[in-house]
């Protein structure tokens, strides 16, 4: 039988080193493509950090998880303890809740995500788990579940505790998990203001602490952090068209550097690299030629998503081929592997993606099979 190889080539520009250094002025940092999880840049990414208020990303994840499972409602209300109220005092980022207030989960989440309220963190943790210690155990269980290998949470807010530690790599993993699994609730992270109609005083309006939200450049999250021992940190993400990049960096010396260097890192990623959707489960289909079947075509598709991130100046070497031995002889069973997508960069094999039949294809009857076979032998055509 004939062997068919369909070659798809993307040709642009000249060869270039993939990960040129953008020279970020921070102690540790990482830049990751959201879809491919390719690391575009790293600066000592596994160095231990104090995540400060970036800890609140996991606090939100625990609540979102319970909301998604219908074990918690945005309308549920928790009573504010003295322990939570104490963190609404001067010197801490606060939502400014009062003892014995009945506050909804929705307002507490806004107080955490937008106003970065430490008091709201404790109130939510106590309301969900009974105590902040129990809640921290839930946070650590979730961290292990999603692949955060160098993180230990001891509280819900990230305030001073030498045992509350992580890495920028783990924060990037956590950020992707947040965006992927809770797209509706994630919308809270791009809200710029939150007004709390507090007890015993005028409403308090606070702005989101993330400085990049106000620049209208496609940034829609995620969370700032600051501790005197760690200096300034930021987990940020930018969305352009359908592509998203996540940046996490810590050890900025001041707020201005936190903003400018994080934006530089994100822009560098978009400017120098591109991500291609090679295959998407239930969305990428091919029709291949068949022989001796009741149809002369069969639809095939992959069972996994695969995205490839590559430097823009290396795209000329990208080679994607559809490979199969065809025409494919019937009968064919649904789910049978009958082709591959081959992805290469230069001569290096990047990925082999199996393609599976999406339907059963029965063989034609004996008489028609005989005629078709004779026709093929004479004319070389099915």
* Cα→Cα distances 351→40, 284, 354, Å: 19, 16, 10
DSSP-based three-state secondary structure for 346: coil
Annotated catalytic residues are 53, 56, 116
CA-nearest of 55, 245, 265 to 165 is 55
The answer to whether the CB of 29 falls within 8 A of the CB of 43 is yes
Residue with tokens 């950090």: 49
C-beta separation of 39 from 257 below 8 A: no
- Residue 110 φ/ψ, nearest 5 degrees: -65, -40
**SS3 label, residue 270:** helix
Sequence-ordered list of residues with C-beta below 8 angstroms from that of 77, at least 6 positions apart, any chain: 102, 103, 104, 105
Residues making up the chain, counted from first to last: 382
CA–CA distance, 174 with 185 (Å, rounded to integer)? 15
- Letter string b/e over residues 315-336, b meaning 16 or more CB atoms within 10 A of that residue's CB: bebbbbebbbebbbebebeeee
Provide the pairing of β-strand 318-325 with 3-10. antiparallel
Contacting residues for 123 by C-beta, under 8 A, at least 6 apart? 78, 80, 81, 84, 97, 103, 108
Q: Are 33 and 269 in contact (CB under 8 A)?
A: yes
């Amino acid at each position: 039988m004939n062997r068919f190889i369909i070659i798809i080539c993307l040709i642009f520009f000249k060869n270039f080193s993939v990960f040129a250094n953008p020279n970020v002025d921070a102690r540790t940092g990482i830049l990751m493509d959201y879809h491919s999880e390719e690391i575009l840049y790293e600066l000592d990414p596994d160095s231990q950090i104090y995540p400060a208020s970036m800890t609140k990303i996991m606090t939100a994840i625990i609540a979102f998880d319970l909301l998604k499972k219908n074990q918690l409602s945005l309308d549920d209300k928790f009573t504010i303890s003295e322990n939570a109220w104490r963190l609404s005092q001067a010197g801490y980022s606060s939502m400014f809740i009062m003892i014995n207030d009945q506050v909804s989960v929705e307002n507490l989440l806004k107080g955490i995500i937008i106003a970065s309220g430490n008091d709201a963190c404790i109130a939510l943790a106590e309301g969900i788990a009974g105590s902040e210690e129990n809640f921290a155990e839930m946070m650590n269980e979730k961290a292990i579940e999603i692949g955060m290998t160098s993180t230990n949470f001891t509280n819900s807010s990230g305030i001073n505790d030498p045992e509350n530690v992580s890495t920028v790599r783990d924060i990037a993993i956590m950020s992707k998990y947040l965006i992927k699994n809770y797209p509706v609730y994630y919308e809270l992270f791009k809200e710029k203001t939150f007004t709390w109609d507090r007890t015993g005083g005028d409403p308090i309006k606070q702005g989101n602490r993330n400085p990049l939200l106000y620049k209208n450049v496609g940034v829609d999250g995620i969370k700032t952090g600051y501790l005197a021992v760690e200096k300034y940190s930021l987990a940020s993400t930018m969305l352009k068209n359908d592509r998203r990049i996540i940046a996490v960096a810590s050890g900025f010396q001041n707020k201005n550097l936190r903003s400018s260097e994080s934006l530089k890192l994100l822009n560098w990623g978009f400017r120098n690299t591109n991500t291609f959707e090679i295959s998407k489960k239930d969305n990428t289909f091919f029709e291949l030629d068949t022989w001796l079947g009741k149809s002369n075509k069969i639809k095939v598709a992959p069972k996994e998503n695969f995205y490839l991130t590559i430097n823009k100046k290396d795209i000329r070497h990208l080679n994607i081929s559809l490979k199969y031995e065809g025409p494919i002889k019937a009968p064919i069973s649904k789910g049978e592997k009958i082709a591959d997508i081959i992805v290469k960069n230069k001569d290096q094999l990047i990925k082999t993606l199996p393609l599976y039949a999406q339907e059963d294809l029965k063989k034609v009857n004996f008489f028609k099979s005989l005629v078709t076979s004779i026709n093929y032998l004479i004319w070389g055509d099915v």
